[in-house]
Amino acid sequence: MIGAREIAPAERRRLEDSDVTLFSAESLRRPEGRTALDAALEELGERTRAIYLHLDLDVLDPELVGPANEFAPPNGLTTEEGEVVIYSLRERCELAAAGIASCD
C-alpha cells in the first residue's frame, strides 16, 4: 500500500497484523524509504509475474495536484512520485489490469 495517509487506528492495527507493507508519501521522500520500496517491489516481482494495480486518486496531494475528492488529506504523492512508483512496479511485474477509483 503506497501513499496512504490518515489511516484510522483500527485499520492501522489490522494492516500491522497483515502481510501488507505500507509506504507513506513521506517515507518515499527519504532515501531509506525509497530503498525499502525498491526491495519490496523486487520481492513482489520474484513472487508473481503479473499484478492488478488499484489506484485511488486521492493518494495524490490535493494542494499540488488538485483534489480528487472531498476526502483527500494533505501531504500526498505528487504526480511525478506516483509515476516513479508505477514505473518501478512495471519494471518488475507485468501489469495485468488496473483500476482507478476515488475521484469525484
Mean of pLDDT values over 65-80: 93
- Each residue of 28-70: pLDDT tens digit? 999 999 999 999 999 999 999 999 999 999 999 999 999 999 9
- Please say if the pLDDT value at position 71 is more than 90: no
Full-model pTM: 0.87
Spatial separation of the C-alpha atoms in residues 91 and 53, rounded to whole Å: 14
Q: Confirm if 70 and 81 have CB atoms less than 8 A apart.
A: no
